Amino acid sequence: MKFDLSNKIALVTGGSRGLGREMVLGFARAGADVVIASRKLEACEAVAREVEALGRRALPIAAHVGHWEDNDKLAEAAYKHFGRVDILVNNAGMSPLAPSLTETTEALFDKVIDINFKGPFRLSSLVGERMVAGEGGAIINLSSTAAFVPMPHTIPYGGAKAAINVMTMALAKAFAPKVRVNCIAPGPFLTDVSTVWRENKQYEQSLGLQRFGKPEEIVGTALYLASDASSFTTGQTIRVDGGTW
């Protein structure tokens, strides 16, 4: 029963596909109503219909988390519609690769930082302060194993996700004791963005579990951190990576 999210309101960015969609549906099955945000409204509306089919309420919102003002509008819309947010999941992200270090354009660098770090910082600040002023809540950030395994081709992305790890600890201190802030660092999951490496058998066999993750396997950790099951856990980053040593 500690995993029960009945009467909770969750806001999930990047909630229309991949790990975000799985968390949205997992929260709904646990009893939560969900705000689903991503850049494409139609995709959010499709997932909203899935949530409603589970008997829960859903609010689809188009928002680009890399844009400061979109985070302001998203937070305001969620509170106007539901009156509060109990669970915030900063899931939206992107990891485009440049041909080389010197061919990494300023526009690409800025886009990676904006979506992976600037947006989660702004949205967490807005929602976290309102959680503190209200009944509290839980914030879950999404990092990556790229923050722990530095590679030349993922410097902007890995750097942004390392910043998310730091932000998680800092916000846990800032919003304590009413708000718990934790982080999930996923490894290689077979989502729609895995096309570059999903056929790499050598990579797959190098993992401790010798297989890639299925998107629904993120839900258990997300439910743990969103619910009272993790009532004494804050400021932590949990790697869900199948053994990415």
Strand-pair partners of 87: 10, 138
* The model's pTM: 0.96
Choice among 79, 157, 203, 224 that is catalytic: 157
Q: At what angle are helices 41-53 and 18-29 packed, to 10 degrees?
A: 30
Superfamily the domain 9-240 falls into: NAD(P)-binding Rossmann-like Domain (3.40.50.720)
* Average pLDDT taken over every residue of the chain: 96
Q: Mean of the pLDDT values across residues 26-41? A: 98
Query: Is-catalytic flag, 157?
Result: yes
pLDDT tens per residue across span 126-143: 999 999 999 999 999 999
| pLDDT at site 198 | 86
Q: Which residue has the higher pLDDT, 168 or 95?
A: 168
User: Cβ of 158: how many Cβ atoms within 10 Å?
Assistant: 23
| pLDDT at site 195 | 76
pLDDT tens per residue across span 181-212: 999 999 999 998 777 788 899 999 999 999 99
Q: Mean of the pLDDT values across residues 26-45? A: 98
| pLDDT at site 1 | 82
Euclidean distance between CA atoms 134 and 110, whole angstroms:
34
Cα 239 to Cα 80, 147, 170: the distances in Å are 34, 11, 18
| pLDDT at site 85 | 98
